[in-house]
Amino acid sequence: MIDKFTGQSRSDLFVQHVEKVATFVKQKYKINVIIWDDMLRNLMASEMLPLAKIVEPMVWVYAPDVYQFMPNYNWDKLAEVFDTAWTASAFKGAHGPTLTVPPMEKHITNTLAWLNVMKNEASKFTKGNIALIIL
């Protein structure tokens, strides 16, 4: 889809915005910038290239089957562009802010699935590591 005001695609606008904001944050605060991966999932590797040395993707899937929402080919695309990736599981907040007790079995299954995904996908990245963050 082309934006009627800029004549650019939604993907180009997103990448340019992230590039500007992340570059500013990195320069000002001297930190690594991590972004949620969901907006990257539908991009081609070539479209993500401007972000290669600026951000690190945080892949999040809270379902029991991580590969259903983040198939192998998406990992291949990320590894073409980024040196590493982060992953995120969640125990609180993934099912709405009013849930008092999270469904533990579902979250444990998700976390165990992430361990398998990390074992399978880490070698695709040049740094060879994927970190799991449990939110």
Q: Hey, CA dihedral for 57, 58, 61, 65, is it positive or negative?
A: positive
Q: What is the pLDDT of residues 23-58, one digit of tens each?
A: 999 999 999 999 999 999 999 999 999 999 999 999
Instruction: Note the pLDDT of residue 2.
Output: 74
Q: What is the pLDDT of residues 70-94, one digit of tens each?
A: 999 999 999 999 999 999 987 766 7
pTM (2 decimals)?
0.87
Helix, strand and coil content of the chain, in percent to the nearest 5, comes to 45, 15, 40
Instruction: Note the pLDDT of residue 90.
Output: 77
- Grouping H, G, I as helix, E, B as strand and the rest as coil, residue 62 is coil
Specify the DSSP class assigned to residue 50. Answer: G
Q: Residue 103: is its pLDDT beyond 90?
A: no
